[in-house]
Structure 1
Amino acid sequence: MFDVSRRSLTLGAATACVALGLEKRVTFVDPAKAQQSDPQPYRKYKIGDVEVFSLIDGMRDAPLRDNMIRNVDFERVKAVLRHAGFPDNRPSRFIVMAVKLRDQVVLIDAGTGGHPIYGEGNGRLFASMAAAGLDPRAVKTILVSHLHGDHIYGLMHNETNAQLFPDAEIMVPATELNWWTRPGVESIDLGPTRKGLARRIQATIATWKNVRPFEGEPELVPGVHAVQVPGHSPGMVAHLVASGGDQFLISADVVNFSPHISINPEWQLAVDQDPQMAVETRKRIFDRAVADRLIISGTHWLMPNAGKLAKDGNSYVFTAEV
């Protein structure tokens, strides 16, 4: 498993131009440092008076495959990743974010729940919470970014669908919930990991009494606002944590292919339900992160999965917070 570090490998302008068609250099993760596995099951960040946690729920290496990037030739994708020091696979984490507000814990998404569709070694949320000193019983609010299985299956038991956080209020974007419960959505082919997802949402989240849909970009809990980021999923939101002049943007799946963070925001990922909209959202959010000097994180980014972005030509440079 590859993990992000502060050090970086800078490609020469000629190499970058050939690989990416960019006018300026592109900065990637230092592969020597990146190969050091992070032994910690969590990372903690201080945002003003608030603590934000990245909790590892699992990890997976998936082979690169043709058409994974829809608008870039497969050989070019492999060449770019090799230049950056990545192997011919797709290293990924499953990460749940948590915000500690005084005596309560707010979860942002709930992870895979150990569902077998996501491979072995997932469903580690409770263990990572324990390592971080977070009590699941203190979770009174769960903010859902979108309704893909690796973000919501941790809300329910795999076999019975019983709630794992029955006393928590679950806040879900109304646009997202409406899309997954509309007539005929069950017949749409969204790939193997989303097979049966709509029916499971309709049997669980859509019927639970502790689910509260919301519209727009409200303040969901004190200091945490929703930010609309559609594309990967129709109604996906990010969550902006603000305290004491500091801001931390939890960007969900604005981009979920880890080496893609610093490469080319215009790559269209096959896992995005609306790839072109996802590109537009990605560039808007990344530009906002640069302009406002936000700390930004992503659900599937490699650890540490939080840091700052800087613009570099047509791409971005990610510097991790360690």
Structure 2
Amino acid sequence: MSETTRNVQPVTANLGKEGSGELVPSRYAVRVGDVDVVLISDGVLPLPTSTMSTNVSEADRNAWFDGRFLQRDMFDWALNVALVRSGERLILIDSGVGDGFEYFARAGRSVMRLESAGIDLAAITDIVITHMHMDHVGGLNVDGVKARLRPDVRIHVSAAEVEFWKNPDFSKTVMPETVPPALRKAAAKFVELYGENIVRFDQTVEVAAGVSARVTGGHTPGHCVVDVASKGEKLTFVGDAIFEVNFDNPRWQNGFEHEPEIAADVRIALLNEAAETGALLAAAHVAFPSIGHIAKNGESFRFVPVQWDY
């Protein structure tokens, strides 16, 4: 495989309105019964491939990346958020990485892309935070964002997650050394800014008709997923429970997992659930728009992306 193949770069162009700078779509909508779900790309996070599989050999990891015509050393990790409309409630799931991170300059675009879709931040009634890593709360930390949200916006975060970030344990993670301090800082700022808006829940919470969050743990102790169910149809936004490598290798651990062994069990349970029910699945770090079905493939799984409806 040539380095030319591995180093293909995304295409951007100044087409359309001045300053748009984007040639590829950055949002995709599906309807789940009576509920509308829009996946929005916050951008991509360049990270070492070693963080995608910390409990396997370099040779096994290289084989997986080679098989997808990807570089062996760095990987563009997709970052997606979701917007859900159920009746009069408009719910944002996660907020992206925000700004202030030079090494994540190609992400932090959720707010801009919400605006380009005609979404006024003041129309958002609820926010669900799957967990308090900086690429999920960072968008809310950007200067000026809080002032544009409604003062009574409800931000649903599991009680276990809020408690964990008072004194987070990184002993089982394998991250670049600059990341843990940034994670601590982002989580602390989020709580400082939005403490009065945070609605803590224990195991499950109904956010709106057909929209609920449930705690899974694993990635972080209070990590949750969001289920959208209406008229016999279902989609689960799994946050960071499942990564791109995990369909083929569900036991591969991720360096950002605080409870990696529990995370593997959670991942397999969610994949089996989706395979058995036929429900749609979407994720924060699966290639945009990340929506698809799950099929069993022996001891592993196969991700079947939705056919785009233009």
TM-score of the two chains, using structure 1 as the length reference: 0.80
Q: Which of the residues 206, 228, 231 maps onto 1:241?
A: 228
- Match 1:211 to one of 198, 201, 207: 198
8 Å CA contact retained: 2:126, 2:207? no
* Alignment partners' CA distance in 1, 2:52 and 2:103: 17
| 1:262 Cα deviation after fit | 2.4
Q: CA deviation at 1:106?
A: 0.5
Deviations along 1:117-159, one digit per CA (max 9) or x if unpaired, are 551122211222133332222101101111101000111225x
Could you tell me whether the CA contact under 8 Å between 1:157 and 1:164 is conserved in 2? no
Q: Deviations over 1:15-40 (max 9, x none)?
A: xxxxxxxxxxxxxxxx9xx9987810
Distance 1:137 1:124, change over 3 A: same
For 2:276 and 2:9, the matched residues in 1 are separated by 31
Tell me if 1:133 matches 2:118.
yes
In structure 2, list runs of 5 or more residues that go unmatched.
Answer: 12-22
**Counterpart Cα distance in 2 of 1:224 and 1:296:** 14
How does 1:91-240 map onto structure 2 within 5 Å? Answer: 91-116=76-101, 119-157=104-142, 165-167=149-151, 168-182=153-167, 185=168, 191=175, 192-205=178-191, 208-240=195-227
2:263 corresponding residue in structure 1: 278
What is the match of residue 47 of structure 1? 32
How far did 1:83 drift?
Answer: 2.2
| One-letter code aligned to 2:161 | E
Bigger drift between 199-208 and 50-59 goes to: 199-208
Are the equivalent residues in 2 in contact too, given 1:123–1:154 (CA < 8 A)? Answer: yes
Residues in 2 aligned to 1:46 and 1:304: alpha-carbon distance in whole angstroms: 14
CA contact (8 A) 1:42 1:55 kept: yes
Residue 101 of structure 1: CA displacement? 2.1
* Counterpart AA for 1:101: S
User: Does residue 85 of structure 1 match 2:72?
Assistant: no
Task: Tell me the equivalent position of 2:289.
Answer: 304
- Contact 1:95/1:111, CA 8 A, preserved across alignment: yes
Residue 45 of structure 2: SS of its match in structure 1? strand
Number of residue pairs matched?
285
Partner-residue secondary structure (3-state), 1:71: coil
RMSD: 2.7
Q: Is the 8 A contact 1:93 1:302 kept in 2?
A: yes
**C-alpha contact 2:134 2:186 (8 A) present in aligned 1:** no
- Which amino acid is the alignment partner of residue 57 of structure 2? D
1:228 Cα deviation from its structure 2 partner: 2.1
Which residue type is aligned with residue 205 of structure 1? V
Contact 1:61 1:91 survives alignment (8 Å): yes
- The change in CA–CA distance for 1:83 and 1:240 in structure 2 (over 3 A counts) is same
Q: TM-score, normalised by structure 2?
A: 0.83
Structure 1 residue 94: Cα displacement: 1.4
Whether contact under 8 Å (1:108, 1:142) holds in the other structure is yes
In structure 1, the partner of 2:239 is 252
Residue type of the alignment partner of 2:233? D
Please tell me whether the aligned partners of residues 149 and 194 of structure 1 are also in contact (alpha carbons under 8 angstroms).
no
Task: Give identity over the alignment, percent.
Answer: 25
SS of the residue corresponding to residue 228 of structure 2 reads strand
The Cα shift of 1:264 comes to 0.7
| Secondary structure, aligned partner of 1:283 | helix
